[in-house]
Amino acid sequence: MAVRDINGASPIIELEQVNKWYGQFHVLTDINLQVRQGEKIVICGPSGSGKSTLIRCINRLEEHQEGTIAVRVDGKRIELTNDVKNVEAIRKEVGMVFQSFNLFPHLTILDNLTLAPIWVKKLPKKEAEDVAMSLLRRVRIPEQAQKYPGQLSGGQQQRVAIARALCMRPQIMLFDEPTSALDPEMVKEVLDVMIELANEGMTMLVVTHEMGFARSVADRVIFMDRGEIVEQGPPKEFFANPRNERTRTFLSQILHH
């Protein structure tokens, strides 16, 4: 419980009694979640359990129907409503990395990175490019700046995607199964970048099946099943003695070999 209240401030993300349906299907049920600044949370669970939907609700890629979701931006609590201003303010603070990278194939790597800073933050081009290059160096692929996404390997593309999200200088990073679409030999290079990011104090919500990453980086592991948060706790506790039957079944399925 060493991570409790890192700076005593109000949570940076707050979900209260969030419910969401796809048509008749109840995909998120009474979700309550508070994330502190700098906290790293790994969310796991069987497919269809609603874990991706949960983090996609935080930047409004999915709309929730009941409950409140709020994000602290510049010390102000902003609630996700239908107000476009609020949505845009939150999206500026929240970066996202997708399973299938979703780089823009018609733009060079550098243009992929500078697009949002130039158009959303109205940064001068030169400045945006400097930021982009320094981030590309950080993910160790500055030499690919002039290439197109299609010319890069999966691992390289995902590192570019991380750099692209970081270009907006977000407070929070959401990762939606960032390594699931990668060949096994490329998983490590992406995880290494994520671990570095975690060590620098970024607030991270990571949907992943990489339990090694959860053990070494997460402050808290959340297990979801059928749209509910079934169990959560620090990784040591979570992996050593899961309390819920469903958690035990899930862990035995993914850890048994």
| Calpha distance 88→73 (Å, rounded) | 11
| Calpha distance 221→231 (Å, rounded) | 8
Cβ proximity to other proteins: between 92 and 248 the closer is 92
DSSP secondary structure of 210-252: -HHHHHHH-SEEEEEETTEEEEEE-HHHHHH---SHHHHHHHH
Which residue, among 175, 181, 162, 235, has the nearest Cα to 207 in the 3D structure? 175
Helix, strand, or coil (residue 58): helix
Instruction: Note whether 23 and 11 are within 8 A (CB).
Output: no
State the nearest-atom distance from the C-beta of 161 to other proteins, in Å. 8
Cβ proximity to other proteins: between 35 and 168 the closer is 168
Cβ proximity to other proteins: between 91 and 246 the closer is 91
Cβ proximity to other proteins: between 109 and 222 the closer is 109
| Calpha distance 69→50 (Å, rounded) | 16
**Terminal-to-terminal C-alpha distance of the chain:** 29
State the nearest-atom distance from the C-beta of 197 to other proteins, in Å. 17
Instruction: Note whether 61 and 20 are within 8 A (CB).
Output: no
Cβ proximity to other proteins: between 64 and 164 the closer is 164
Cβ proximity to other proteins: between 63 and 79 the closer is 63
Residues of the shown chain interacting with other proteins in the complex, contacts defined by CB under 8 A? 59-61, 84, 88, 91-92, 94-96, 98, 100, 102-106, 115-116, 119-120, 122, 124, 147-151, 164-165, 168
